Chains A and B, each alone.
Chain A
Amino acid sequence: MKKSHIFILVVIAAAVGIIMSTMADASTYSTFTIARQQAAAGNPAKVHVVGTLPRDSDKRPVGLEYDPVVNPNYFAFTMVDTLHVAQRVVYRNPKPQDMDKSEQVVIVGAMKDGVFEADQILTKCPSKYVEKDLGKTGPPATAMNN
C-alpha cells in the first residue's frame, strides 16, 4: 500500500467520524408527548418543539409569567404544540421581547421534573419576513372611506 493510500484512508475515516458526530448531535423536531416519554425513559436528549401560545379573545397570550422584580432570570409560559398538547415551559433567562407578538415559537430543551426546560426560544413574528401590510405608513383613514 502506498503512502497516499494510507492518507486517503485516514481522510475517509475522519469524514465518516464527522458524519457520525453530526448525526449523533442532531436534535429532532418533536412533540411534548414524545419529550415526556423520553424523560420518563431517562433519555436526556434535547428536542425542538414547534408550537403556539394560547391567546385570549383580544389575541393576548395567556399564562406568561415573568416578574423581573422577583427574578429576572425566570420566565414561564404555556405552549401548545402542533398536536394540541399544552405544556408548561420554563426559560431561565429574561423573557424574549418579541414573545407577545410571535406567531410561532420553537423551543429547544428537554422535560425535567414535569416542566419543559427550554435552553433556547426562537420566535417567528408575523411580519418578520415579507411586508404585506402598509402599517402606520398607510393612507389615512379618511382616504379609505371616500
Chain B
Amino acid sequence: MTFVDTYPKATRIVKATFIVAFVALGLGGLFGFIQALHRTDTFRGIIDSTQYYDLLTGHGVLLALVFTTFFIAGLYQWGISRSLDREPEDLRFSWGWFWTMTVGTILASIAILGGLVPGDGISAAVLFTFYPPLQAHPLFYIGAALLVVGSWGATLDWFFSFWKWREDHPDDHIPLQVHMVLFTMLMWVLASLGIAIEVVALLIPWSLGLITNIDPLLPRTLFWYTGHAIVYFWLLPAYFVWYTILPKLSGGRLFSDSLARIVFVIFLLMSTPIGFHHQYLDPGIGMGYKLWAVVATLLILLPSLMTAFTVVASMEHGARQRGGSGYFAWMGALPWGQPAFAGCALAGIMFAAGGFSGMINASLNIDTLVHNTIWIPGHFHLTVGTAVALTFMAITFWLLPQLTGRKLKFPKMALAQPYSWFIGMVLMSNGMHRAGLAGIPRRTAEPGYSGFSFEAPFGSIMEMKIQIALGGTILFVSLLLFLIVVVGTWWAGAPAETVDDAIPPALSGPEHTPKILDNIKLWLGIAVVLVILAYTLPLADMLADGIFQPGVPPSPM
C-alpha cells in the first residue's frame, strides 16, 4: 500500500500537474539548449537573432513560471494528502484550479510560440519580466493571470483540507509538511498580489487597447513586488523536500522540527518587502528604499543559513546511522549511489554557491558591477535552475513509485542524471558568472559588439563561451535522461511490491515546538504590516502624478 492505493483521487491530480510540469520542463530546456548554442555563436542553424527573444521568453515562462508552479502544486498536494490523511475535499474544485492553471499556460504558450510563426499577428517576445511599454498579445497576459489565479485556488483547496482536519484535531500541532505548505502558499498569495494587480488592472486593458499610454515604472515596481518573493515560492518547496524527505533518504531523521518551522515563518515575513533590490539601479526610486532593501535582503540570508545547518546536520545524523564516522569521513557513508539522495545533496551544494553570488547581488555597492550582466543568470541557474529544479527532478525519482505503484525504470540513467546536471551547471554557471564580471550583458542574442570587445579579468572570453555552450549541452542531455526515466517508469515500470514511503519523525519533534509557530493569523498579520510599511510610500510617490503619468505609448513585440 502506497500513496496511489491510499489516495487515488489525489494521485490523479498530482500526476496531472506533473505531466504539465514535465512537458514545460522539456520544452523550456530545449529552448535553453538552443539559446546556449546561439548566443555563444557555437551553432546558429535553428533560429535567427530576432527569434532568440521568442525562445528566451518561452524558456523563462515555461521553466520559471510553469514548471515550478505545476510541480509545486503536485508536490504540495502529495504532502497535504499524506500528512492529513485526506483525499481532496471537493474534486470539482481541485480540477477547477488545475484546469485554470493549464488553460492559462496554453494561452500564454500560444502567444509566445506565435512569435515564431511569421504573419500570424500573435507574438509575446517580452521575456518573463514583460516590462511595459514592451507589449505582448493579450493572450499572454490573460494566460499569466489564469496561472496565478489557479495557484490561489490550489492554496484554498489545501486550506479546506487543513480546516477539515482541524475540526477533528483541535489541539494537535500542524503536521510539519502541512505547516510548510500553508506558510509557503500564504507567502505566495501575499506576494502574487503585485503581479495580479499589474496584469489584471493595467496590462490586460492596455494590451486590449482600452488604455494607450502607460507609466513604465509602476508596472515594473509591481512586478518586482512579486518578482523577488516568487523565488522563495520556488525555493521553499525545495526546502520542504530537504527538511522532510532528505534526512530520511540519508538514512536518518530531521534534526529539529521547531527550527524548520521558524525558517518558514521568517520566509513568510521577509520574502515580500524586499523587491526593491531588483530596482537598485532604477531612477525614480529613493535611496532610502534601496538601503532598506539591502538590509532586509541580507537578513533573509539567516533562514537559508539555518537551513544549511539543519540539512547538513540531518545528513550527518543519517550517515552516522549508516556507520559513518570521523569529522568529514561520514560524508562517504551517505547513499551517493541513489539518484534521489544524490540529486538533493548536489542541489544543496550548488545552492551554497548560488547563495554566495546572491550575497554579492544583494550588496548595492558591488551590484553595480554585475547588474544585468550574464552574472545574474549565472546566479539564478544555480538557485532556481539547480537548487530548485534538480531537487524537484531528484525527488520525482522517489515519488514516482508512490504515484504509479511501479519501480523506477532505467536506474543507471536515473543515477547519471543528477551528476550530469551538476557537471553541466558547474561549467555553464562558471562561464556565466565570469563573463558577467567582464561586462557581458544578459538577455542578448549576440556574443559581442562591433565597436568594442570585452576584456576578461582572468581566463579568456572564448574559454567562457565554450564552458557555457558545453555546460548547456550537458544539461540538455541530463534533462533527456530525466524525461526518459520518467516516461519509462510511468509506462513500462515493473510493478513494485513494496514502496518505501515512510518518513520518520524529527529528532527534536513537534512536542518541543512552541505553539506560537503554528499561529497562522499572527504571522500573516505581521507579514501584511511589513508589506504595507515597505511599499506604501514608494507607491504613493509613483502614483502622485497620476497612474499613467509620466506615460509612453506601447511598443508591440
Q: Is the pairing of A and B real?
A: no
Residues in chain B within 8 A of chain A (CB atoms): none
Which residues of A come within 8 Å of B, CB atoms? Answer: none
